[in-house]
Chain A
Amino acid sequence: MSIETSDVEKIAHLARLHLEPSQSAAVTASIANILALIDTMQEVATDAVPPLAHTSTEGQRLRADVVTEVNDRDHLQQIAPSTENGLYLVPRVIE
């Protein structure tokens, strides 16, 4: 499958990455190379093969529905770029 610069620009937006127009062509070329590598998977028929998402055989555990964490907000927010009254600050979204 080939990939166009416009596809890469769309992916960058979906991934919330800013792509300089001057980088688009080079990034597209390197991703195209990676997709060519990935496409070698298509040479094997896998219609009857069940997918394997992970290798664990133990299943997911359940635990009692009780609070196990303490409120550590002040400590956790010490590393935030910007906070006020326990809230994270970001640029205004609704004018």
Chain B
Amino acid sequence: MFDKGIAELSLALTRKEFSSRELTAAYLDRINAANPALNCYITVTAEQALAQASAADALRARGEAGPFTGIPIAHKDIFCTRDVRTSCGSRMLDNFISPYDASVVERFTQAGAVTLGKTNMDEFAMGSSNETSFYGPVKNPWNVERVPGGSSGGSAAAVAARLCPAATGTDTGGSIRQPAAFCGITGLKPTYGRVSRWGMVAFASSLDQAGPMTRSAEDAAIMLNIMAGFDDRDSTCSERPMEDYRAKLNQALAGLRIGIPRQHFAAGLNPQVEKAIRAALAEFENLGATLKEVSLENSHLSVPAYYVIAPAEASANLSRYDGVRFGYRCENPRDLEDLYKRSRSEGFGSEVKRRIMVGTYALSAGYYDAYYLKAQKIRRLIKNDFDQAFADVDVIMGPTSPHPAFRLGAQNDDPVTMYLEDIYTIAVNLAGLPGISIPAGLVDGLPVGLQIVGQDFAEARLLNVAHQFQQATDWHRKSPV
């Protein structure tokens, strides 16, 4: 039962091969056994999960089950969950019991999903290796000396290690796609505005987007059908009508025009990763697609621009953590300023403080034009590059990450080295586009991710393209367990 994805579990539950309660209990046992070594979960909500599973079974017995009724999933610990700790991987929120559910969580609950728990992540989603978490790093289930990627490292590792059938994640600069690549799973970052951000702890509000992390593109489509859609509590949530993301999965790929950005196959790309990606592209040609080189001229400026925009937005968003209304408060504050300063300094980890300071600097008088305004202009150039490329092609493909999962501690000496990990993913967030990472090979026993980027709101097309690849190959079925 642990190898089944959402679609297969839904079928098995309908056929009464097992109940949701049995399935949930089996997953909870598995989590108990494996989580101490992998550290995927910050909080396991066993009691609540079993109650939800029993309720789902009762619903099914009455003939009222939907496609997600009784399916266990895990939520990244960035999504607020009523009456359950929402830590965001930070000491600052270690004591934070959310008074409400995030829209994403609410939608899954309404669909009858069972919540197994909350997954580990880089602190406030700031990191590419899951090493900045207050709760310690997550280990990659393919090789426990390697990182799972980040920031949604707990979700990715849990899906790969079969500690949940699927999970939610969030992606500000690559935080769904890069861990999906490192852990050999499917991870979709939807178009900015497709999924409500309400109740998702804010990092960089013009970039943050929630998405599914699953065993297959089909499962991602099933999850997106629940997650996506208008929500008036998020003022940036799109009013564009929802699609059925499963409807186009089986469309043939004949005539698909794939853009290959030459900048994503340049120096810095591991040759074995390149080989795996080229083989995947050849497979798409077999399926009837054509390849065309495109240029994303300013892609090398995406990381610099991002490290102005994201910290600037973070410095504003994280100003709410002041030790007054919720979250960590320091002991015996001398005065109000001492309360602010020590609560924040003791509550935040070093990477979060570093980004708050960079953002504060970029927004401060005298530097705004040189940094913040300049970064917004670069952001326009990056978006223009994509617009131009999409005049000739339907999707853009390349590696998700320049190399497979690196060793724990390997990239920690200089923050800039870690920032450059997201060289292929960050531009997609700056342009607001949807992107998916799917397993496309193994290098030295570690998964390689293929990134597919689409035009605004082309999630159905991306999922179709990914699904067709997964019908022709079995990389997504490889498992570390």
Contact of B99 among A33, A46, A54, A76 (CB under 8 A): A76
CA distance A37 to B99 in the complex (A): 40
* Residue contact B360 to A52, C-beta cutoff 8 Å: no
Tell me the minimal C-beta distance from A4 to chain B in angstroms: 12
* Complex interface bits, A1-39 against B, C-beta within 8 A gives 1, otherwise 0: 101000110011011111100000001001101111111
Tell me the minimal C-beta distance from B423 to chain A in angstroms: 12
Q: Which of B239, B357, B419 has the most CB of A within 10 A?
A: B357
Q: Does A44 contact B (CB under 8 A)?
A: yes
* Residue contact A81 to B379, C-beta cutoff 8 Å: no
Give the number of chain A interface residues (Cβ < 8 Å).
53
Contacts of A31 in B (CB 8 A): 354, 357-358, 361
**Interface residue range, chain B:** 35 or more
Contacts of A91 in B (CB 8 A): 333-336, 338-339
Q: Does B304 contact A (CB under 8 A)?
A: yes
Tell me the minimal C-beta distance from A25 to chain B in angstroms: 14
CA distance A75 to B98 in the complex (A): 10
Q: Does B448 contact A (CB under 8 A)?
A: no
Contacts of B322 in A (CB 8 A): 16
Q: Does B235 contact A (CB under 8 A)?
A: yes
* Complex interface bits, B22-46 against A, C-beta within 8 A gives 1, otherwise 0: 0000000000000000000000000
Known contacts A38-B304, A46-B374; A56 and B324 CB within 8 A of each other: no
Contact of B357 among A17, A33, A44, A76 (CB under 8 A): A17
With both beta carbons as reference points, the residue of chain B lying nearest to A33 in the complex is identified as B416
Q: Which of B323, B335, B360 has the most CB of A within 10 A?
A: B360
* Residue contact A40 to B383, C-beta cutoff 8 Å: no
CA distance A61 to B324 in the complex (A): 32
* Residue contact B432 to A56, C-beta cutoff 8 Å: yes
* Residue contact B344 to A44, C-beta cutoff 8 Å: no
With both beta carbons as reference points, the residue of chain B lying nearest to A15 in the complex is identified as B360
CA distance A78 to B300 in the complex (A): 47
* Residue contact A78 to B99, C-beta cutoff 8 Å: yes
CA distance A92 to B342 in the complex (A): 16
Q: Does B128 contact A (CB under 8 A)?
A: no
Tell me the minimal C-beta distance from B461 to chain A in angstroms: 18
* Residue contact B307 to A37, C-beta cutoff 8 Å: yes
Contacts of B74 in A (CB 8 A): none
Contact of A75 among B99, B325, B340 (CB under 8 A): B99
Q: Does A58 contact B (CB under 8 A)?
A: yes
Known contacts A30-B415, A34-B354, A44-B298; A90 and B336 CB within 8 A of each other: yes
Q: Does B341 contact A (CB under 8 A)?
A: yes
Known contacts A30-B414, A91-B336; A51 and B376 CB within 8 A of each other: yes
Which residues in window 311-349 of B have CB below 8 A to A? 315, 319, 322-327, 329, 333-342, 344-345, 348
Binding site for A on B (CB under 8 A): 95-97, 99, 192-193, 206, 232, 235-236, 238-240, 298, 300-301, 303-305, 307-308, 315, 319, 322-327, 329, 333-342, 344-345, 348, 353-354, 356-358, 360-362, 364, 367, 370-371, 373-381, 383, 414-416, 419, 431-432, 456
12 contacts between A and B (CB under 8 A): A11-B360, A11-B364, A15-B319, A17-B353, A31-B361, A34-B415, A38-B308, A38-B375, A41-B308, A51-B377, A72-B99, A88-B325
Which 10 A-B pairs rank lowest in CB-CB distance, beginning with the nearest? A55-B432, A51-B376, A46-B377, A81-B329, A52-B380, A18-B345, A18-B341, A49-B377, A16-B340, A54-B206
